[in-house]
Structures are given as structure tokens and as C-alpha cells.
Structure 1
């Protein structure tokens, strides 16, 4: 191994959550680590996200006296895989078992390194909780809110999150129902005063993904990890069939960095590369993605160039969104995850027909929309709401019952009419078809059961609905004018395909043999969850776990941690 400008034991490409967990393992083993990030900010898509990890049988569940087990989680994942018809080379029984067994250990390790974690909201069911082994409470783990001033001069390098104030994720979620529960107004005031107080004290708290990555960054810096920003990696260096390092830039010049134990690729997906989207998932748009601008897939191509196999490239972590005027100027595209899952709302295609359970997994929601669009125009689809809805819930994070935001009607984003037929004409949908769809839905609500798509029968549907609404939190009539319609498109929080890896996180060739010295995790890989999304945090959890697994394997630690 020669000709390198610098040498480290472990070279990590990208600064997402899996990079941090792997770096901490290597430093615990006494190995040198460098993390190379091409953007000016550290944290990757994780920092912009909710920062949720799906961790079955985790310590926080056990501490709260809740029974879970590896076998229950395996049963659930296997049952979910059985519902999928498409091949998923990134998933195998061995990898799923490795995940379920190692994920709780990864959490224990991070807590031991001083990373303050806690259970997510107690009620955040698995997305297919009706399957054997599914959890109807919560397998989620999140970070405690974090004062990013604790990072000192590194604070300015932490990528901005969507909730830059001292609030727990569960608290923030409850505020969606502020018009349903007067007590939540007091809760909101407490959060406001808490924010003011901490700012006056010179603190700057963040929550969700920014809190997770802030805490991970603090632990990694304290452990002696070397971080480099604005350091894009353009090449994996291969010598005698082994990946021995990478080519990056330093001070504007080529810079070769060697890795004695290997290279870990955790460089995100390709959500911001429209050419790759057109090739692998036509009909989707990078403009609808929640990912950072650097999510452009170069390392996917580089791993393929040296013999890696790309798979599941047509998959994304779909996250339905509604493109309200001005959305491109804000940090996060207005999500529509709960928009049509709440009472008094449905989703229809451009023929005016309802075609899915609006309360299901966001990944499945967008996948279903794209499949529907192949036969009936459904991108965008239309969220149909009534007066009951807008008096209780926001649309694109705005209250619209008393005052419609400027430009919403003028730019044909929001359509409003006194009758369903008039609303249909406004959105260029057959009035007869839309009226029949609404009448059929209202009949289901009256009967207490969605006969077409079974919305409201999962615990997760109830979670997306309204806990203050009964008898079914997900079902409510659309019958009181004025009526409203807004477009919904298949956005995403990441792509979900990439290099195929084995149970040790090694990138493998077409014959299944590993490429020596090359590991990968996160959405740079074909998801170990296959083509489905089992629950909240099913991309961050595996990223962190397989980063942890990769480092243990490369360092020869076995079960020593």
C-alpha cells in the first residue's frame, strides 16, 4: 500500500448516522478514523430528518416493562418480505437476523459512549402492525434534544434541522391537534418560553435528526475522529483487487487517503440527481425530495465501477408532499404524510376515484401513487377536504379556514367550492365520478368500515388519524362545505437502492464474493429491509447498525464491544 498522502485505519465517505456509529466503534478499538464530507455541513440527510431509529427489542422498551424479542421482529420482517413480489437482493434472512440482533447492541454501545438517547413516542406503531410480530406501540428510539453550542466551533458545521428549539419529538407531534385540546395551547406556550429562556442563556437547542447528529458528532470529536468538510471523494483506489483508499481533494488539489482496515461508503442516495431518477424511477422528481443538495449518487456509480452490484434502484423512501406556493423557498418541502390520513379527507386520482388506504406507510403511499399513474393519471393526485377538516387541522402547515395564504388560490394550488361538483370542475375531474366517490366514502364512515381499502383497521392508521376523533380516529365524512382540494405528489426522504452488501456490510460482486476492503451502509446500499419500510426509522436504524457492524468486522472485534 503506497503512494498515499495520508494514512488512517478507517476511511469513511459521508457523514450520516452510520458514519458516526462506525467511527465511534473504531475509536473505541484504538484505530484512527477520518470522515470525509463533500458538503460544507456535517450530518447528511439524517440531520434534516426526524432522526428516528427503528430498533426492535431495545433497552428503552425493556426499561418500561414492554415485552419484545428478536424472534418477534424476525417474524415481522419475514412476514413483510413475503408480501413483496419484487426481488430484493439487498435483503436476506441472514442480514435481517444480523440487524435485529445487533441493533439493540448498537444502541447500548452509543449510550455507553455518552450519546443521550430515549424511546420515541410510546405510540408509534409499526407500519404493518397487523402482520405477525408487528408492534402496536413503538419500537422507535430518538436522541434527547441537544444544545449545539456544546460543539463549540464545530456547531456551525452541523447541518440545520427542521426543529431548532428545545422540544421532544412527541411534544411537537401533539401540537398538530392544538385546536382539538385546549391544554396543548399551554404546552405550546411552555415550548416558546423554554426556547426564549435557553436562547437568553446562550444555548441553541435542536431536536430530531439534528439532535441525533449533534450528539453523535460531539461524541466522535471527543473520541478523536478527524472530520473534513468540502472534501468530495471521486474515486475508490483499488490495488490487487482490494480497496485500499480513496481520492479526494485538499486545498483544491487531488489528495490520496489510504485506509489500512478499509473504506466505508455512507454517502447517501441519488435523490437530487434527476438523470439517475429518470433512469431508475421515472416519474419522480428531485424537486420533491427532502434530501440535501449533495445527495447525487456518485458513490453508487463508483462502487459499481469497481465490481459492486446495484439493486433495488427503483425504490425510494416515498414521503408524500404537497407543493404549496413558495415551498421551494423553505427548508423542508411541506409534507402531506397525515394530510389525507385524518378524518374528513380522502385522496383521489385525476379521474376522481379513490385508489388506496390513505393512512398507510408513506413509502407504500407513494409507491401506490406511482403504480396508479401508470394506468390512470395520478401524479399529482388530489386531497379532498371539507370545512370540518380545515377547522381542525392545518394544510401545508397553514390554517386556511379563516384566511387563505397569499397566492394559494391565484396560483391554482388550493381549490375551494361550495359543492363537490363545483370543486370537481375546478380541478378538471369528472363531477359525477367525484360525487360518487365521496358518497361511497361517506357511506363507509356511517357504517364504521372502509370496505375498499380498510383504512382505520391498523393501529398505525389510528396514529395518523386523530386521537380526539371517534369512534375511529381515521374515518370522518366529507360532507360540509365549502370543500377544498390540494395536489399531492410522491416526494421522498431518500432513495432506497444501492450496492448489495453482505451481513458484515461488505460490498459484494455479482458472484456474491466480497470486495476486499470495501464496506457500505445506509442508502448507499440496497436496503436490508427489501422493498418495504417496516416502521419509523427503518433507514436510519439500519444505517447506524450496519455502520456499527462494518467497523466491528473490519477491526476484528467480534463480540468484544
Structure 2
């Protein structure tokens, strides 16, 4: 039967993440009308709060011969296991990504969105595997003055985590400023640009806010979409088995919006829904998540109600964190990846034993914590450091010990003792075990190899370490032998969930029996990730969201995938 709608568009998009914007720009080029319905009062979604990095194999910023389609597919096939518990991925879907991602990037840049290489050294997370790249497949947006959006839209852009005129790559180098005159010069340039910006009325943002600011600007300039905030969607309207529209809210009452070509679901995950977390990923907590407040799984539940298959729901993009002073009100929770991967630091479970490579992928790090906790208490685990660490490095994004240690100790978050056995007593782990673990680690450091977990043998491990470390060949390994000794708890946080509806290579949502729900598309963390249960490299969430949002629009508009 024909549905009655309050208004109708060609393309209806739920959520305003990067994939939504990419799809809108494609639809505009195809001459189609678009509405973007955003639940929150701000535009940008989780992308805006994130690093905004895109993992794009074979992208235009890489050198000739540095990557290829076959190399990228070889890497993804080596990293991402196929199986019945990972229906979001397949060799065909991964190849579709490797083919279309650089094309999507070229299209977006042609729309006036300024991009650049994220870094020349930001290795794949499993760079030692076939096809892995030890340089970088990352792409980021150029820092953006959000006041270019105009007062109304600048106020509607969601806050980013790094609001300074700095490239993300430069920001990650600043902690090593005292070791390099080049980095000191970079800091001075950033500081001067920030001051100049304040004097001239600029509001610089970088990372995800820069990406979404630039994407929003392109959409507005091209009049590619009618973007509506405070417009939650509660229902998908079906007509004879086809997704025909949605129910949203306008002027305080239900509002039915029809979709001639299709609906794109890019509505985020369920990181802030503790009941769903307890059901699908027990042991994780919303309070440890860096997800946004609107990530409550509304569309996961609605799409399941409409017959869509949910999968990989036990997965999250883990990002280890700690409850350092102020953590409960911090816009971004204190992360520990840059702490435990540096020299003079390890992590142990509650039995006092090391159980992982403390470098590597943050997703794998947190998954390993959760798996370990099934057999040995590991939530929280304990970061173990010595005075050498405290003299050299910041801790969990909370600054240097010299300025903050008294506050950290008084809060009870940081523990300190003159020897390892006394530290073990403070944190409630067996003294013999912790002493043995530290001694074994120091032996590995002196021998130049982590015999247990091979920390530092990946380029990525050393990327996380200290590029200026001179006490050995491994930039990620240093002894823990100079007292006092320190410990603080580490938890399996996240930047969002990683499971959702299963889609095909055209981003069409599938039912349990594998059939297509006509007119219904999805991308981003509303979907079961096309990367399965693995995070291959920095930007393996934003990159696929943009690419599969773009693919969805191409398919719905009848433009084809142009697969080779």
C-alpha cells in the first residue's frame, strides 16, 4: 500500500557522521535530494570527537610503488579472519573497500575538502604480516577554522578533542619536544598560529572535528543536503517489504519522511547503552567509553525489529584508559596506549604476570584484557613504571610526574613504593610474581628481545615507543629498575562499539537468511564492521564509514560500483 508522508526526499540519511556527508555529496552530484536527520543538537557524530583518521590503501598521497590493490588485499586477508562469527567481512567486501576507498577520497577532495597524508610514519597495526605497510596508509583533513562555517553552523559542529591549529601527526610528536629542535620549532609555530587565530577571530580544530568541519562546509556550499539536528529517528517505515521512509520528530510531533531511492543508516553504535553492553559484551562499561552521548543503539534495535541480522555485537574499538583524577568529567577519557608502550613500562594482571605485548593495536589490547579476565582477574590490570619513566614521559595524557605526583598520590590513583615487593603489596598482587615479572622483563631488555610477546618487533610498536630512546635498539623497551616504582590501574575502554547490521558489498542491509532489505543501506558502526573482529590500522573505522556510505549512495543512485 502507498504510504502517506509529510515530505519526501530521494535519499534519507540517519546520523551525521563522515559516511553520511560522503553519501550526500555523491547524491548531489547525481542530482538527487537529501535530508540528514541527526539525533543530537550537534553535527558530526562520533567522527567529530575522534582522531578523524582514514585508513585508505593506495591513496593519492602515497609514493609510487609504495602500495597496490593486490598488496592491500593481501594484507587485509592476512589480518582479518573469515568465519561464521564474522559475517560483516568477506574477501569480496574487503576488496570492495580496497578498490573504492581511494576513489572515494579522490571524489571528496574534488568537492573541495582539503586532505593530506596523516603521517609518513604511521605503520599498519600488523605491519609484519604480508602486505603490511611500515610507512603509512593514513589520511587526515587539514586543520580547519570552524568559523568559516558561519556563526550558526560553527555552533552546531560537535566539539573535537584537539582544538588547535596543529596537524594530528605534529600533536603526537609534541611530547618529545625537549629532544628535538625541529619539534620545538613546530610547537612555536602552533603557538603563534593559535595566538594569531584568537586575535583574528579564528577557531581552529584538527583531527575529527577538522574532517567533519570540512565535510559539513562542502555539503553546505553545494547545498547537498537539508541537515536537521534534534531530529531522532524512531522507526523505519516499510512498504511491501521495502524500506520506504522513517519516522522522526519535527516541531515536537512525529514527522514521516519518505525515501524514493533509499535510507542510509549511519546512526552510531551502542557504547552508551549499558544494558546492551551487558548483553553483548559483559565486563565493559559505558563510563570507560569515549563514545558520544547519543550512541544508545536505537537503530540497532529498530533494524533488528525490521528483520535485519545483527552480528559481531561483542566487538568494540577498544581504547585502554585509566581513572586518573578528573577522568569522570574529561571530554576525552585518559588513554594509556602511549604510556604502557613506552620504555620503562609494562602491564600485569592481578596475579602480577605480564600477559600481552603492551604496544600494538588498542583494539587488540582491550580484547586481550577481556579474554584474560575470563581466567585470571585482569580488570583492572596494573601499569608498572619506574622513576626513569617518570623523569622522561607524561602519564596517561595527564602531564609530567614532577608537577602532578603529589596530586596523583593523594587521590589514590597512583601508587608508589621504594621497591617492587612493596609496590606489589600496595596493589594487591603476589610479591614474588611481580618481582619475577619485572626481573624477567629487565632480562629481555638487556638481551634486546621480548621473548614472551615480541614487543618492539613491529614498526608500529616502535611508533608508540620513544623515537629518541638511546639505551638500546628497541624503541619500546627499557628496564624497570630505578626506584621509586609506580603503578596505576588500566581498564578496557573504547572509542565506540564495532558490531551491528550485516551488509553486502553495496552497503545493503541483509536479513538473517541473507536476502536484501530493499531500500535500506548502512555504514559506520551501525554495521558489523567490514574489518571483522580486527582493527588493521589507524582509521579503520572512519575510512570504511566514508567509503561504504559513498558506495551506498552510488548504488542507490544507479551509478554502479565500477569494480575492476
Q: TM-score range by the shorter chain?
A: over 0.9
> Among 94, 97, 100, which residue is 1:96 paired with?
94
Alpha carbons 2:503, 2:522 under 8 Å: kept: yes
CA distance in 2, matches of 1:266, 1:537: 17
**Counterparts of residues 433-444 of structure 1 (less than 5 Å):** 433-444=433-444
Cα deviation, residue 412, structure 1: 1.7
Q: How many residues align?
A: 558
**1:185-219 superposed Cα distances (whole Å, 9 cap, x missing partner):** 34322211110101211111110000000000000
Alpha carbons 2:3, 2:239 under 8 Å: kept: no
In the alignment, is residue 6 of structure 1 matched against residue 4 of structure 2? no
> Among 517, 520, 538, which residue is 1:518 paired with?
520
CA distance in 2, matches of 1:449, 1:200: 52
Alpha carbons 1:179, 1:392 under 8 Å: kept: no
Alpha carbons 1:387, 1:401 under 8 Å: kept: no
Alpha carbons 1:177, 1:392 under 8 Å: kept: no
Q: Which residue number in structure 2 is paired with residue 445 of structure 1?
A: 445
In the alignment, is residue 554 of structure 1 matched against residue 556 of structure 2? yes
Misfit runs of 4+, over 6 Å? none
Cα deviation, residue 184, structure 1: 2.9
Q: Which moved more, 1:204-213 or 1:327-336?
A: 327-336
**Counterparts of residues 155-174 of structure 1 (less than 5 Å):** 155-174=154-173
In the alignment, is residue 143 of structure 1 matched against residue 141 of structure 2? yes
Q: Which residue number in structure 2 is paired with residue 203 of structure 1?
A: 202
Q: Which residue number in structure 2 is paired with residue 112 of structure 1?
A: 110
- Secondary structure at the counterpart of residue 338 of structure 1: helix
CA distance in 1, matches of 2:170, 2:410: 35
- Secondary structure at the counterpart of residue 257 of structure 2: strand
Cα deviation, residue 86, structure 1: 6.9
**Counterparts of residues 480-499 of structure 1 (less than 5 Å):** 480-499=482-501
TM-score (norm 2): 0.97
Q: Residues 124, 243 of structure 1: CA spacing in aligned structure 2 closer, same or farther, 3 A cutoff?
A: same
In the alignment, is residue 328 of structure 1 matched against residue 332 of structure 2? no
Q: Which residue number in structure 1 is paired with residue 39 of structure 2?
A: 38
Cα deviation, residue 435, structure 1: 0.4
**Counterparts of residues 244-263 of structure 1 (less than 5 Å):** 244-263=244-263
**1:260-302 superposed Cα distances (whole Å, 9 cap, x missing partner):** 0010000000001000000000000001111111011010011
Q: Which residue number in structure 2 is paired with residue 539 of structure 1?
A: 541
Q: Which moved more, 1:84-93 or 1:239-248?
A: 84-93
- Secondary structure at the counterpart of residue 474 of structure 2: coil
Q: Residues 68, 266 of structure 1: CA spacing in aligned structure 2 closer, same or farther, 3 A cutoff?
A: same
CA distance in 2, matches of 1:525, 1:184: 40
Alpha carbons 2:395, 2:401 under 8 Å: kept: no
Alpha carbons 2:393, 2:400 under 8 Å: kept: no
Q: Residues 86, 122 of structure 1: CA spacing in aligned structure 2 closer, same or farther, 3 A cutoff?
A: farther
Cα deviation, residue 37, structure 1: 0.4
Q: Which residue number in structure 1 is paired with residue 220 of structure 2?
A: 221
CA distance in 2, matches of 1:113, 1:559: 19
Cα deviation, residue 251, structure 1: 1.0
In the alignment, is residue 129 of structure 1 matched against residue 130 of structure 2? no
- Secondary structure at the counterpart of residue 8 of structure 2: strand
Q: Which moved more, 1:102-111 or 1:550-559?
A: 550-559
CA distance in 1, matches of 2:159, 2:80: 35
**1:230-285 superposed Cα distances (whole Å, 9 cap, x missing partner):** 00000000011000000000011000000100100000000010000000000000
CA RMSD of aligned residues (A): 1.4
Alpha carbons 2:338, 2:396 under 8 Å: kept: no
**1:32-75 superposed Cα distances (whole Å, 9 cap, x missing partner):** 000000100000010001000000000110xx335211110111
CA distance in 1, matches of 2:160, 2:401: 29
TM-score (norm 1): 0.98
